[in-house]
Amino acid sequence: MSGSPLTAAALLAAAVATIVIGSWGVRLSRTTSDFLVASRSVGPRWNAAAISGEYLSAASFLGVAGLIAKYGADALWYPVGFTAGYLGLLLFVAAPLRRSGAYTVPDFAEFRLGSARLRKVAMLVVVIICVFYLAPQYQGAGLALKTLLGMPVWTGPLLVGAIVITNVVGGGMRSITFVQAFQYWLKLTAIAIPALALLGLFVTDRGDLGGPLPPSVDRETTVQIETDIVVQVVDPSGIRVTGELDGNAVRDATFGTPGEHTLGAGTSLTLAAGAATPVVAGTPGTGREWISSGGGLGGDHPLYQVISIIVATFLGTMGLPHVLVRFYTNRDGRAARRTALAVIALLSLFYLFPVLLGVFSRLYVPQLLITGTADAAVLLAPGSAIGGVFGQLLAALVAAGAIAAFLATSSGLLVSIAGALATDVMRGRVRDFRVAAVIGGLIPIPLSLLVADIELSRTVGLAFAVAASTLCPLLVLGIWWRGLTAAGAAAGLAVGGLVCGGAVLVAITGGVDETVLGGWPAVMVGYPAAVSVPVAFATMIMVSRFTRAAPDVAQVFARMHVPERLGMGVERLPES
Amino acid sequence: MSEGERPQRQRVVLAHRRGARMVRTRIEVQEQTQVGDALVRGLVRAQLGLALRLGAVVVFAVAGIVVLNRAAPDLMVFGMRLNWLLLAVLAYPLLYGVGRLYVRLAEQGEKDFVRVVDSEP
């Protein structure tokens, strides 16, 4: 599919705006404190918009709608969980973390437990989480540029990588605060207007969402299959196949019987007007299955999947280094709380729209459900459902929002990687920060090209699972439990990181066969959080029980919990 | 000030006795004496209790939604399916409401703590 010049112009405009606003911040950035924590002078409103802008990644912008179009009711837990994560952060982490005066997560680990070795372990975990999270952003950028402009997949990661590295190297945290706040409002506009336009279409022409039939196309449609895929056909009438069907070369043939069929790469399907759309195997085919809860997201044990998604997303946010680092830029603990609350409001507003887009994509462009790249739904739905100049404008707007999503999240992740590497591996000068940013921005590029074919929201969900099984227990126990020891924390980080990180590596490189042992190994690898989070908490608590706590824990607790007015806070900064 | 109201009477004393005490209790918290440590422990316990109670509210709500969606998958409310209404619409005000309540109560707890520290024994 080749893109319209309008779309290309919108992409370019979003990218240029990002660089220009970023360079506005560069003039304000002087010291290491500017680079790491924007000199701790960002107000709750700017900060909440910046946090939301940074947080709403490709997974939220494209992935949530794609998952909802594909799987229906149970996918609604992803946006709820992505928002609820901030409630967890607000309740258990925000204010004490800010009052600790730390400037990165590893710095917090050293402040709380007084161990330089633990600091290194935490640094390693931070870098791993950020790389796991950065790879799907780059992957999404590749997908978007390919879908919109027909460019090769590797150009997306390279372009996004280059822009992000330039911005972060230029101005660090000061600079990206403005960029990210701008990007929240850009993303909200870019998703709200198309969603509302489709809502208008829906109100004038009500379709049947929960009916017994699969979604159908309203005019003759041709779909190209680009990778081998198994589809589920509910009603084969009106569908012609040319290419490879169930291993045989066919020309203008029908599916014959309902059920699962394999389509080879290069096959094209022609759907007559009113024909029921086949869907990717393992996803709900009929409207009734799609609209009811309890179907899960493909594979066995749907209830376990839902619980695991809830655990990973509710607890994962408080372990995401790029989110935590923004909380250090608040003025004080009270502002940190208010920021978290404002973020919940901004996210609640935003997530209304991907849900709408997902629903309407299923209704108006069901042919996207055949190819398996449902992530592209948001990009293509407005243009193909509405058509005309207005449709093209909407498509261009969505494209600008998508590029903003990749850029904002990637910049935040890169600042975290660079902050951790610069202060803990190098000597913490501004030059070190810049070198670290270049290195950290390049590593995920090859990884993003290797990632197997999983939906963006699920890859990001896996990064959340790693965060929930490592940094979340470290922070929650470190802030509230005096008995935590350096040895316990290190053991918990290692066990949680290995169990969950191992599962993620297996999942993104192909997964486990679903027939082994009743499907449990497959579902646990695909959704590891419900197992790995309790294991990580238990390890930290058990090992801490058998080791001795640091002697000055009372002083540390007073600093984290006593309000700033009593004058106990000390701001930490790297020695350089 | 509206017309009917008069300025409140204030008792004027020669010296504010609070000042000296305030410094002493503050120092107790800062220097981590036994009294200071007990005060901080009380604050931490109160804030943790608050967070856990509100966290429990959310956990119960989430468990309720999961159970309800399994038990009554086809229930319609206001022309919308209950599972979609709960997850796509009502979950967000719940999260915000709990967060807002927490911010209010946590700030109240901190104010109480500062008042205890700064008050006369």
Kindly list the residues from chain A whose CB atom is less than 8 angstroms away from the CB atom of residue B66: 303, 306-307
Task: Please calculate the CA angle B113-B115-B116 and round it to the nearest 5 degrees.
Answer: 65
User: Strand A248-253 to strand A229-233: parallel, antiparallel, or no bridges (unpaired)?
Assistant: unpaired
Final residue of a domain: which of A252, A276, A300? A276
- Close Cβ partners of B27 (under 8 Å, ≥ 6 residues apart): B36
One domain for residues A233 and A364: no
* Rounded percentage of chain A residues whose pLDDT exceeds 70: 86
Q: How confident is the model at residue B17 (pLDDT cuts 50, 70, 90)?
A: very low
pLDDT, averaged across chain A: 80
- For chain B, the C-alpha Rg in angstroms (whole number) is 24
Mutate to test the interface with A, among B83, B86, B116, B117 (most CBs of A within 10 A): B83
Task: Please calculate the CA angle A334-A337-A341 and round it to the nearest 5 degrees.
Answer: 140
Contact assignment for B88 to A561 by CB distance below 8 Å: no
CA–CA dist A131, A398 (Å, integer) = 26
Final residue of a domain: which of A276, A301, A322? A276
One domain for residues A157 and A48: yes
Where do the DSSP E strands lie in A203-337?
A: 221-224, 229-233, 239-245, 248-253, 259-263, 268-271, 279-280
One domain for residues A235 and A378: no
Model pLDDT for residues A199-243, shown as the tens digit of each residue: 888 777 666 666 666 677 767 777 777 667 777 777 777 777 887
Over residues A431-450, the mean pLDDT reads 81
Contact assignment for B95 to A76 by CB distance below 8 Å: no
Contact assignment for B40 to A565 by CB distance below 8 Å: no
A92 touches chain B (CB under 8 A): yes
Residue A536, domain extent: 5-205+290-562
Model pLDDT for residues A13-52, shown as the tens digit of each residue: 877 877 777 666 666 655 655 555 555 666 777 888 888 8
Inside any domain, residue A215: no
In terms of Cα–Cα distance, which of A148, A223, A195, A209 is closest to A382? A195
**H or E element, residue A492:** helix A486-508
One domain for residues A357 and A259: no
CB of A118 closer than 8 Å to CB of A489:
yes
B44/chain A closest Cα distance in angstroms: 7
| pLDDT top residue among B23 and A463 | A463
**Is the pLDDT at A436 greater than 70, yes or no?**
yes
One domain for residues A135 and A235: no
Q: How confident is the model at residue A372 (pLDDT cuts 50, 70, 90)?
A: low
Q: How confident is the model at residue B49 (pLDDT cuts 50, 70, 90)?
A: very high
Which position has the token pair 């992957």? A139
CA–CA dist B61, B78 (Å, integer) = 20
Q: Count of domains in chain A?
A: 2
Hey, CA dihedral for A51, A54, A59, A62, is it positive or negative?
A: positive
Kindly list the residues from chain B whose CB atom is less than 8 angstroms away from the CB atom of residue A478: none
One domain for residues A238 and A107: no
Over residues A245-251, the mean pLDDT reads 77
pLDDT at A207: 62
Q: How confident is the model at residue A105 (pLDDT cuts 50, 70, 90)?
A: confident
Model pLDDT for residues A396-416, shown as the tens digit of each residue: 888 888 887 888 788 888 888
Candidate from B74, B96, B117 with C-beta closest to A348:
B96
Q: How confident is the model at residue B20 (pLDDT cuts 50, 70, 90)?
A: very low
pLDDT at A162: 86
CA–CA dist B109, B121 (Å, integer) = 19
A305 touches chain B (CB under 8 A): no
Model pLDDT for residues A474-511, shown as the tens digit of each residue: 999 999 998 899 899 999 999 999 999 888 888 777 76
DSSP letter assigned to residue A216: B
| pLDDT top residue among A299 and B50 | B50
Give me the amino acid identity at A14. A
pLDDT at B1: 43
Contact assignment for A337 to B73 by CB distance below 8 Å: no
Cβ atoms within 10 Å of A95's Cβ, excluding its own = 30
Contact assignment for A210 to B73 by CB distance below 8 Å: no
Inside any domain, residue A10: yes
Contact assignment for B69 to A338 by CB distance below 8 Å: no
Contact assignment for B58 to A355 by CB distance below 8 Å: no
The complex scores an ipTM of 0.84
pLDDT at A463: 86
pLDDT at A301: 82
Q: CA of A387: how far to CAs of A122, A199, A209, A316, A382, in Å?
A: 51, 15, 22, 40, 8
Among A44-48, A249-253, A425-429, where is mean pLDDT lowest? A425-429
Chain B residues contacting A, CB < 8 Å?
A: 26, 29-30, 32, 36-37, 40, 43-44, 47-48, 51, 54-55, 58, 62, 66, 69-70, 73-74, 81, 83-84, 87-89, 91-93, 95-96, 98-100, 102-103, 106-107, 110, 113-114, 117
A255/chain B closest Cα distance in angstroms: 32
A555 touches chain B (CB under 8 A): yes
**Is the pLDDT at B15 greater than 60, yes or no?**
no
- Close Cβ partners of A69 (under 8 Å, ≥ 6 residues apart): A358, A359, A361, A362, A368, A369, A374, A377
CB of A496 closer than 8 Å to CB of A541:
no
Model pLDDT for residues A332-362, shown as the tens digit of each residue: 888 889 999 999 999 999 999 989 888 888 8
Q: How confident is the model at residue A573 (pLDDT cuts 50, 70, 90)?
A: low
One domain for residues A558 and A431: yes
Contact assignment for A87 to B66 by CB distance below 8 Å: no
Nearest CA in chain B to A85: B95
Contact assignment for B114 to A563 by CB distance below 8 Å: yes
CB of A223 closer than 8 Å to CB of A268:
yes
Q: At what angle do helices A155-204 and A430-442 cross, to 10 degrees?
A: 70
Inside any domain, residue A61: yes
Over residues A110-132, the mean pLDDT reads 88
Candidate from A293, A310, A562 with C-beta closest to B83:
A293
Candidate from A86, A341, A561 with C-beta closest to B43:
A561
Q: Rounded to the nearest 5°, which phi and psi values hold at A10?
A: -65, -40
One domain for residues A392 and A539: yes
CA–CA dist A79, A350 (Å, integer) = 10
A293 touches chain B (CB under 8 A): yes
Longest dimension (CA), chain A: 80
Q: How confident is the model at residue A73 (pLDDT cuts 50, 70, 90)?
A: confident
pLDDT at A574: 58
Give me the amino acid identity at A527. Y
One domain for residues A183 and A236: no
One domain for residues A88 and A199: yes
Burial of A431 (0-12, 13-18, 19+ CB in 10 A): exposed
| pLDDT top residue among B22 and A140 | A140
**Is the pLDDT at A1 greater than 60, yes or no?**
no
Contacting A residues, span 143-162, partner chain B, CB-CB under 8 Å: none
Inside any domain, residue A490: yes
One domain for residues A257 and A351: no
Contact assignment for B74 to A292 by CB distance below 8 Å: yes
Candidate from B40, B51, B93 with C-beta closest to A562:
B40
Contact assignment for B44 to A480 by CB distance below 8 Å: yes
Inside any domain, residue A211: no
Domain of A464: which CATH number? 1.20.1730.10
pLDDT at A172: 59
One domain for residues A146 and A242: no
CA–CA dist A92, A472 (Å, integer) = 10
